[in-house]
Amino acid sequence: MIFDLQIRAQLENVGQIIPSDADDFEWNVMFKCSGCGEERDTFRVLSLSDTSTGKSGKGEAHLVETCHFCGRANTVVIMEKSGAIPYLEADSGSFKTLCSLDCRGLEPTKFKLGVNRGD
């Protein structure tokens, strides 16, 4: 299932919001397992430049993990154009998609911007 991560902001004296480097930008997302509903209490860091091979060895994903509660194998793929579309001053006050995630077995519950791996 594809989920869109969206923001709404009121921009004043700011022309646009866009990652400086979409390929290396880190998306900090919290997920819950769609099989059993178990939600992990930590944010997962996803980046277009960081991929792993799935358990079956077919294809690559930006997140590959197994649910600790039900044992289900789950994957997340960041869609190609994510992070490349800016939030412009003209978009102020309306929702706009920043990132689209193709989630297999997981559902995003929260995300935050501007956080480094150490936070």
Task: Name which of 23, 17, 3 is nearest 111 in CA terms.
Answer: 3
Predicted confidence at residue 75, as pLDDT, reads: 94
Asked if 89 and 16 touch (Cβ cutoff 8 Å), the reply is yes
pTM for the complete prediction? 0.84
pLDDT per position as a tens digit, 2-19: 999 888 999 888 888 877
Predicted confidence at residue 95, as pLDDT, reads: 95
Predicted confidence at residue 114, as pLDDT, reads: 63
Cα 42-46-47 angle, rounded to 5 deg: 155
Low-confidence spans in the chain with pLDDT less than 50: 115, 117-119
